[in-house]
């Protein structure tokens, strides 16, 4: 059975890779995310065999494709060696900030983005905190065409921690599910990195706007998520 696009995280540290898997899984619980950190004997470094096992294991488990992300230069070299040996077009390496790219790719995969969309989402992590949208949702490549005017709602974040990682991912997945361009305080609501860059905490006043064919539905869905407090109130 197909399980969509999987992620393999290659780090010099087994603990770092495992920790990032844990963080990303909070935002993308249905995505197969695998750690390939450290050497075969548990030292700091990278292992060709561990990376190969993670990639082939994901494919064997039913993944349509695998996106590989790395932390430092020699990890990239190890991953490149594995990809060269496998010669499998279903596997791609993305050169982007390790943590940010993993989060963006995981959210895109959780939202049903295809292989290209997940790769593109990881790639946008370079500029994600400047408010660039992620691929993988309806807003990829720019907002949906306006159908005559924006719908806007002003409201208050009721959960104490505001738009931290998990709520931001929830909002991003919701916004990306509609044929609409949705923004929160002027940034792309389908981009988890852009939302987190706002630094919005509990009690913050926000403005949600939507344009496009499904603007009404998108606005209502995003507002409902925010007003629910994400289960944290």
Residue-wise pLDDT for 162-215, tens only, equals 998 889 989 998 998 899 999 999 999 988 888 988 999 999 999 999 999 999
Q: What's the pTM?
A: 0.75
Q: Which of 8, 10, 12, 113 is catalytic?
A: 12
30 C-beta neighbours (distance < 10 Å), count: 11
pLDDT at residue 124 in the model: 81
Query: Across all residues in the chain, what is the average pLDDT?
Result: 88
In a domain, 76, yes or no: yes
Residue 42: CATH number of its domain = 3.40.50.510
- Assigned domain for 167 exists: yes
Question: Is 117 in the same domain as 159?
Answer: no
The verdict on whether 164 is a catalytic residue reads no
Q: Tell me: do 17 and 118 sit in the same domain.
A: yes
One-character DSSP codes across 6-51: EEEEEES-HHHHHHHHHHHHHH-TTS-EEEEES-TTS-SS--HHHH
- Give the mean pLDDT of 6-22: 97
Residues 224 and 176 in one domain: yes
Confidence (pLDDT) at 148: 54
Tally of domains in the chain: 2
pLDDT above 80 for 139: no
**Is position 46 within any domain?**
yes
Domain range for 110? 5-126
Give the model confidence (pLDDT) of 91-114 as tens digits: 999 999 999 999 999 999 998 889
What mean pLDDT do residues 132-151 have? Answer: 48
Q: Are strands 181-184 and 205-211 parallel, antiparallel or unpaired?
A: antiparallel
């Amino acid at each position: 059975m197909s399980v969509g696009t999987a992620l393999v995280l290659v780090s010099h540290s087994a603990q770092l890779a495992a920790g990032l898997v844990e963080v990303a899984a909070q935002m993308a619980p249905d995505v197969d995310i695998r750690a390939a950190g450290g050497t075969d004997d548990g030292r700091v470094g990278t292992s060709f065999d561990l990376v190969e096992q993670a990639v082939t294991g994901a494919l064997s488990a039913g993944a349509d494709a695998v996106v590989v992300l790395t932390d430092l230069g020699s990890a990239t070299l190890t991953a490149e060696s594995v990809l060269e040996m496998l010669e499998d077009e279903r596997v791609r390496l993305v050169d982007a900030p390790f943590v940010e790219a993993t989060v963006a790719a995981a959210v895109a995969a959780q939202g049903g983005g295809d292989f290209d969309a997940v790769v593109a989402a990881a790639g946008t992590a370079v500029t994600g905190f400047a408010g660039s949208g992620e691929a993988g949702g309806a807003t990829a490549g720019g907002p949906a065409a306006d159908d005559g005017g924006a719908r806007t709602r002003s409201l208050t974040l009721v959960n104490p921690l505001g738009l931290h990682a998990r709520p931001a991912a929830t909002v991003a997945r919701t916004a990306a599910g509609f044929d609409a361009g949705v923004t929160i305080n002027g940034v792309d609501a389908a981009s988890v990195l852009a939302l987190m860059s706002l630094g919005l905490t509990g009690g913050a006043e926000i403005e949600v706007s939507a344009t496009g064919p499904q603007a009404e539905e998108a606005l209502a869905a995003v507002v409902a998520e925010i007003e629910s407090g994400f289960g944290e109130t």
